[in-house]
Amino acid sequence: MTDLATHEAPARSEALRRAAPALLGYAAVRALGLLTLALWSAARDKDAYTLLTARWDALWYTRVAELGYGYEVRLPNGDVHSNLAFFPLLPWLERLVAEVSPLSYADGGFVVGLLASFAAAWGIFAVAEHVYGRRVGVCAVLLWAVLPVGIVQSMAYSESLFTALAAWSLYAVLTGRWITAGTLALLAGLTRPVGLAVVAAVWAAGIASFVSFVRNRRAGAPLGAEDAKHASGVPARQVLAMLLAPLGAAGYVLWVGHRTGKGPLGYLDVQAGWRNGFDGGYAFARFVAEKFTSFPSALAGAGLIVGVGLVIWLYVVCVRQRQPLPLLVYAGVVTALALCASSYFGSKPRLLLPAFPLLLPLARSLARPRTRRSALVVASVAVASALYGAFWLNGSGPP
């Protein structure tokens, strides 16, 4: 055990050293975004920290941490907004921080979000470096940091926490750490409904691994190091990972169904109270079409079409570049759930934030020029992203 710990410590140190340029660049982008937000908010006589920790979904998470589940708001039109719509891992962590420190629940959400954002950045680097090399890994992290809605990464929201769990689960799958992958997928499923994407990735990789194993056995091919551990014919760790992965999401959804008395699918009724659901993109298509009823809004409609087209094009490029199956499945499910949700159309860019594999084709392109040119591109986009983030949070912000 001592030898193993002694071996793992240098390995972690080396991994952190390799990720350091990406993490430092990420910190610089996030610092720029927060500074810009603080200055913009001060000019509008608003408190930037309140925007980050005590508005929109952040307020709902804080209420869950403080009061538990059961709080709901009944709107004049009859809709019921229940806090059961919010998955429990972030509120649990907020409560933990508040109990072991003098920080408030809102402060705990900010701390968890901040730490999780760096864990997510490191996980994205680890995945991208494993697939395409260190330079692409750095570029992938920087691109994720400078996304137009990148300021959400610094909020008391669950996107950063979810992305961290998803990225490291995918990395564990890619490197054959099946139990770790399943455990992280379980935790991702306790964080957001889109945890289904991580579960699907683990299952896809597990099935593909089992099929490959069976083919090699039937063909009499020599077993690889991974398959040799399962000479009895049952890839036990893959099976265990596949069993672990859905437990988080399934457990919470079943608990909500029991709590509401509406059966296994009671969570869908909770989401319906928020006028949210999955309709294959029909409502979103109608929303975009309605933008073309007048000239000013038609520009917004055209922008939405271009944005959706870009997302779909990036996914097609990911497929053409033959990204590993777990990344394709994960990005595909995240994208489908984000684009085909039936409500909160303004939040779709935020819902796409965890779909970092879509950035890998752009990261590969950004990694080709000289470092100075790539740095200039990233710096320019970072400034634009910081300005947009400050404008966005001081305006409509994320619903």
Lowest mean pLDDT among 8-12, 121-125, 201-205: 8-12
Q: In 10 A of CB 37, how many CB atoms? A: 25
Give the amino acid at 58: A
If phi over 0 gives left and psi between -120 and 50 gives alpha, with beta otherwise, what is residue 241?
A: alpha
CA distances from 363 to 28, 143, 249, 332, 384 (A): 18, 7, 31, 18, 18
The pLDDT assigned to 101 comes to 97
pLDDT band at 10 (very low <50, low <70, confident <90, very high): low
Is 69's pLDDT higher than 50? yes
Is 8's pLDDT higher than 70? no
Is 35's pLDDT higher than 50? yes
Separation CA 149–CA 353 (nearest Å): 8
The pLDDT assigned to 222 comes to 58
pLDDT band at 3 (very low <50, low <70, confident <90, very high): very low
Kindly report, residue by residue over 110-124, the tens digit of the pLDDT: 999 999 999 999 999
Q: In 10 A of CB 70, how many CB atoms? A: 11
Lowest mean pLDDT among 24-38, 151-165, 191-205, 259-273: 259-273
Is 382's pLDDT higher than 60? yes
For residues 371 and 67, the model is more confident at 67
Tell me what the mean pLDDT of segment 187-203 comes to: 97
Separation CA 9–CA 310 (nearest Å): 42
Kindly report, residue by residue over 294-326, the tens digit of the pLDDT: 878 888 889 899 999 999 999 999 999 999 999
Q: What is the CA radius of gyration of the chain?
A: 22
The pLDDT assigned to 2 comes to 47
Which position has the token pair 């860019």? 349
Tell me what the mean pLDDT of segment 243-261 comes to: 96
| 388 within 8 A of 396, measured Cβ to Cβ | no
The partner residues of 278 in beta bridges, in order of sequence, read 341
The pLDDT assigned to 234 comes to 52
Is 367's pLDDT higher than 80? yes
Query: Beta 72-74 vs 80-82: how paired, if at all?
Result: antiparallel
Token pair listed for 376? 């200039």
Residue 268 C-beta-side C-alpha neighbours within 13 Å: 9
Token pair listed for 10? 């240098």
The pLDDT assigned to 5 comes to 46
The pLDDT assigned to 282 comes to 85
Tell me what the mean pLDDT of segment 50-60 comes to: 95
Kindly report, residue by residue over 229-241, the tens digit of the pLDDT: 444 445 789 999 9
**Sequence-distant (≥ 6) Cβ neighbours of residue 44 within 8 angstroms:** 394
Mean of pLDDT over the chain? 91
3-state secondary structure labels for all residues of the chain: CHHHHHHHHHHHHHHHHHHHHHHHHHHHHHHHHHHHHHHHHHHCCCCHHHHHHCCCHHHHHHHHHHHCCCCEEECCCCCEEEHHHCCCHHHHHHHHHHHHCCCCHHHHHHHHHHHHHHHHHHHHHHHHHHHHCHHHHHHHHHHHHCCCCHHHHHCCCCHHHHHHHHHHHHHHHHCCCHHHHHHHHHHHHCCCCCHHHHHHHHHHHHHHHHHHHHHHHHHCCCCCHHHHCCCCCCCHHHHHHHHHCCHHHHHHHHHHHHHHCCCCCHHHHHHHHCCCCECCCHHHHHHHHHHHHCHHHHHHHHHHHHHHHHHHHHHHHHHHCCCCHHHHHHHHHHHHHHHCECCCHHHHHHHCCCCHHHHHHHHHHHHCCCHHHHHHHHHHHHHHHHHHHHHHHCCCCCC
Backbone angles phi, psi at 336, to 5 degrees: -65, -45
The pLDDT assigned to 160 comes to 98
| 25 within 8 A of 150, measured Cβ to Cβ | no
